[in-house]
Every structure is written in C-alpha cells, then in structure tokens.
Amino acid sequence: MTGDRARRDMRVLVERLYPLCRSITGDGVRATFDIVGEHLDLDVHEVPTGTQVLDWTVPKEWNIRDAYVKDASGARVVDFRRSNLHVVGYSVPVSATMTLEELRPRLHTLPEQPDLVPYRTSYYAETWGFCLSRRTLDGMGEGPYEVLIDSTLADGHLTYAEHVVRGRSDEEVLISCHVCHPSLANDNLAGIAVATALAGRLAGEIGRPRYTYRFLFAPGTIGAITWLARNRDRLGRIRYGLTLACAGDRGALTYKRSRRGDAGIDRVMTAVLRDRPHTIVDFSPYGYDERQFCSPGFDLPVGSLTRTPYAGYPEYHTSGDDLGFVTPSAMADTLETLWSAVEVLERDSRYENLSPYGEPQLGRRGLYGSLGGRSDTKQAQMAMLWVLNLSDGDHSLLDVADRSGLPFQAVAEATAALEGAGLLKRVGEDA
C-alpha cells in the first residue's frame, strides 16, 4: 500500500467510524466491526451477559436510539442526534418533564472549556445524564424541559474481534486497540485505523511473516479482560505486544514500557524510536489495556504506543477530539513507526562471523566499493565493522544496534551485504 493511499484509507475509515455510538457493548461496536470487516477478515466473538471473566462479569448490553432535552418551544437544546457525546454512556431509559433545577444534577459540563462537550460514562452503576457545553447550560432558562433517553439495558453480549496474519511460527505479536468510545477521533478511531492499515500491509508486503500477528479490537478494560479469560491457554505464545491508542494527533510519539521494563518489545521500540522525536516512559498500572496484559498474573511483554499520551491533551475525552484533531500525516507516522518495529521483529537474528580472526579484507570482496557515493558511507562502514565484531553466534542484530547506537536498518543492510559476500552465516532457529 502506497503512503498516499494509506493516508487516504485511514482518513476515510476514521470519518466513517466517527458518527457511530460505541460503548463497551452494543450495536455500535458491531457496526464498527462491519466497517473494519470491509478491510480485514475478522473473527467476531459474542460473549453473553453474566459470563464470569476473571474477577469481572460481562455486563448487560446497552443500546440507544435517541435522546434529547427539549425546551417549551420544542427545540432540542441537547440533542443526541447532533452528537452522541451528549448522553452519558450506559444511561438508563428516561421520559420526564423537569425544571432546570431538577435537571441540573444530571448535566455534565467543562467549566474551564466552556465550548466543549465532555465524554462521560457510567458502565456499572445504573443512572443517566446528559453532557453539554457550559455555554449551552448558561443559556438555558428555568424550564420546564421535556427529557427523553430512548435506550435499553438488557441481557445481551459483549463483542470483540480478532484478525490474525499467520506466520511461519506460532509465536505471536499482539496488537490491541480499544473500540468502546463514541465520537472521539484520536482516542479510539485513529488507533483502529492504524491497526487496520498495519494488518493490511503485513499481508500485502510480507505475505507469510516470521511471527503470527494477532490484532485484537475490543472494548477497553472489560474487553481485554474477557479476551484474557478466554485465551489463557495461548498466552504463552505471545512474545511481543503493543496497545495502540491516540495514534493521530500532532504530538510526538510516546512509548510506555512493559511491566518488565526490559522485555523484547521494550528493546525493539527503543531502537525504532531512537531517530524519531519521542518520549519513553516507565510502566504504570494506569492508562490503556497494557495494564490488563501486564497484570502480575499474566505479566505479558506488552508496551503501549501513543502520540500524546492518555489524558495528555486538552481535547482528551471531549468534543474537541473531532475529525479536525487527527491528521493523515500523524497517522501515517504512527503506521511507519509500527512498520519499522515489524521490520526489526522480522529481521532480527543471530549470525556467526566466518572470518573471525582479525578483520576480514572488505575491499577485495567489493564491500567498500559498494559504499562509494552514499551519503551515509561512514555509518554503513561502521555498521559492517560492528556486525562482524559482534557476530559470534550469541549476539542478535538488535544487540548490535543497541551496542553501536546505529539504526537497526543500517545494521540489517550491512548484515545482508556481509552475508552475500560469504562472511556471515545465520545461526539458531532461523538458520
């Protein structure tokens, strides 16, 4: 997939998903999978209400058709049809006539951001409410107001989906993103779009990769917990993992290490981000579903990749996180970063130097001549020397990149040249 096409496809996917009212359960999640399923073959799972999943229970399913607060003239002062953020997620049905004084405890605003509508939920306590801008609230009279929430909260299912790119090995790379937020373009939809593009690129450009790549699209917290509970027998296959969120804003990339702090994915992402604007932070049990995958009983090698991190921008969980907040170029940069990580995972191997006594003569093998005219001649030469020196059968190419401080791509290119000249032999399980 070309860069321009990837940008366009990701942008279109975000635009199509944006109007849907998603939550941790319900038809909005299914409609999301219908659209993503136009790009990827999805295995969609339905888990019934009441199912015990670890320390949790799958909740009732929530769906909503309409909601509003109407003034005496019949005008919708607050209108779900205008934005699905206007209703507190999981609100129970309501039909009433109320004064503003009676209604006010059910109204949620952001006084410090008076033009924005907040995103609020109440998944596990049956209640109801509306979200609106402070400016709208300040303009409301005393009423009375007609109040309606046409919703259902009943036994149903929690829905999650998987897409698997089968590799030569059963060992897995897990890419997870949450699908439970309504119209929030960055914190939800950009991650879905980038994950979808990455899965498509894997199948299109690699075909049958070294590892098996599992893409998980699930509601936050309860979805990841449900998946973990239902897949305990296969968790030992996961060698690397990332949660993906906030993938489309203009901020620099942020990587949060796994709970282990030195897992393979932590080393891979450190190498990939070395030459990009970025921040690396230590693990904390707060954020996205990395905290479920990294809970002590599982302790999976899963980090988190975002641009501006969780709750780190003023538009976070507000109507300001709209289609104008995410950019195709930012999503493309996130995608390219992930692709660089895939290249490390696919190419990292151990080699043996077949001429280990002293430095082999590179000139007579045409290796120095192949560097002539390159803008990175010095880097390419140093990469060859480092690869030769550390190719003792014990060090991987990622080890070489770490030790030398050189880009992994330069190390991999040097390795290919040296192997082609008969100076290296791959060793280990990939030989």
Domain 349-430 has CATH 1.10.10.10: yes
User: What is the pLDDT, as a whole number, of residue 237?
Assistant: 97
Give me the CATH code for the 63-154 domain, please.
Answer: 3.50.30.90
Q: Which of 378, 334, 360, 377 is nearest to 418 (CA)?
A: 360
Rg of the chain (C-alpha set): 25
What is the C-alpha to C-alpha distance for residues 126 and 119, in angstroms, rounded to an integer? 17
Task: Identify the pLDDT of residue 205.
Answer: 79
- Contact (Cβ atoms closer than 8 angstroms) between residue 126 and residue 172: no
Handedness of CA 109, 112, 118, 122 (dihedral sign): negative
Pick from 354, 342, 338, 339: which is nearest to 415 by CA? 354
* pLDDT score recorded for residue 33: 98
Task: Record the pTM.
Answer: 0.94
Check the annotation: does 181 bind a ligand: yes
187 in a known ligand binding site: yes
Domain ranges across the chain: 3-59+157-346, 63-154, 349-430
Q: Tens of pLDDT along 368-402?
A: 665 555 566 788 889 999 999 999 999 999 999 99
pLDDT digits (tens, 9 = 90+) for 345-364: 999 999 999 999 988 888 77
Task: Write down the pLDDT at residue 359.
Answer: 86
Which residue is associated with the tokens 């001549």?
A: 369
The pLDDT value recorded for residue 2 is 62
Tokens representing 182 are 């309504």
- Rounded-to-integer distance, Cα 324 and Cα 272, Å: 28
Helix (H) or strand (E) holding 50: none
Q: Give residue 4's pLDDT.
A: 86
User: Is there a binding annotation on residue 278?
Assistant: no
Residue 235's CB is within 10 A of a number of other CB atoms, namely 15
CA distance 409 to 397: 10
Q: What is 3-59+157-346's CATH topology?
A: Aminopeptidase (3.40.630)
Q: What stretches in the chain show pLDDT beneath 50?
A: none
- Map residue 29 onto helix, strand or coil: helix
